[in-house]
Amino acid sequence: MSKFIPVLLSLLLIAGMLFIFLKDTPGPKKIDFDRDMQFDLDIEGLTLEQGGGENKFWELEASRAAFLRVENEYLLFEPVMIYYRQDGSPPLRIQASQGRINQDEQVMQMWPDVRAESDGLTTRSDRATYLEDSGCILLEGNVVFTGRGVVIKASSGLIDLEEDKIVATGGVQTNIIDAEGQP
């Protein structure tokens, strides 16, 4: 029995060191933006636009943003993105609690409570990624399209801004609803 005590104490010491190491290493944890990161620029009330006047393609507003020069990224707080359609149909409005724009990759992400609205259709998801090169918004996690007499649930989806269409993928469930939202 006394032979196992040093082995047991050694294992406990190694387990404690691993716990401390794994606890303090970078990983997928929630970031406290005010304490954990050093920003190059902290902005209250950010507004960005692409295009101008009648040719405005999109407009982004955020209650607060932080710019990281090395990464060439904006971290966004309460972002609202409005995509204007060139054919004059109603714009698409997307909002979430947090977001990020990588200017080098021309990608914008929003999370964790994404809500998009346009012309009687409401979309919810856990994450949205706007890919400027393709003109599409990729939706991931608990995607729900509601409106126009239907509720569509899926694990992922795509909003094609140029073709003005949506695609639901992964475990798609469709329910027909009446004007009051009842099946």
Task: Give yes or no for a contact between 133 and 64, defined as CB atoms under 8 angstroms apart.
Answer: no
Question: φ, ψ for residue 20 (rounded to 5)?
Answer: -65, -45
For residue 65, pLDDT over 60 is answered with yes
Q: Which residues contact 45 (CB under 8 A, 6 or more apart)?
A: 61, 62, 63, 64
For residue 130, pLDDT over 50 is answered with yes
pLDDT for 12? 59
Each residue of 50-85: b (16+ CB within 10 Å) or e? eeeeeeebbbbbbeebbbbeeeebbbbbebbbbbbe
Kindly list the distances between the CA atom of residue 62 and the CA atoms of 88, 90, 103, in Å, as whole numbers in the listed order. 25, 21, 16
Long-range CB contact pairs, 116-121, < 8 A, 24+: 116/92, 116/159, 117/92, 117/93, 118/90, 118/91, 118/92, 118/93, 119/89, 119/90, 120/147, 120/148, 121/145, 121/146, 121/147, 121/148, 121/166
Average model confidence (pLDDT) for the chain?
A: 82
Q: Tokens 């009842």 sit at which residue?
A: 182
pLDDT for 96? 97
pLDDT for 69? 87
Kindly list the structural domains of the chain, giving each domain's residue range(s) and its CATH number in brackets, ordered by start.
37-176 (2.60.450.10)
pLDDT for 64? 93
Query: Residues 71-92: what's their mean pLDDT?
Result: 89
Residue 21: which pLDDT band, with cuts at 50, 70 and 90?
Answer: low
Query: Residues 124-138: what's their mean pLDDT?
Result: 91
Query: Residues 49-73: what's their mean pLDDT?
Result: 86
Residue 25: which pLDDT band, with cuts at 50, 70 and 90?
Answer: very low
Q: How far apart are CA 138 and CA 156, in angstroms?
A: 8
For residue 118, pLDDT over 70 is answered with yes
Residue 109: which pLDDT band, with cuts at 50, 70 and 90?
Answer: very high
Higher-confidence position of 5 and 12: 5
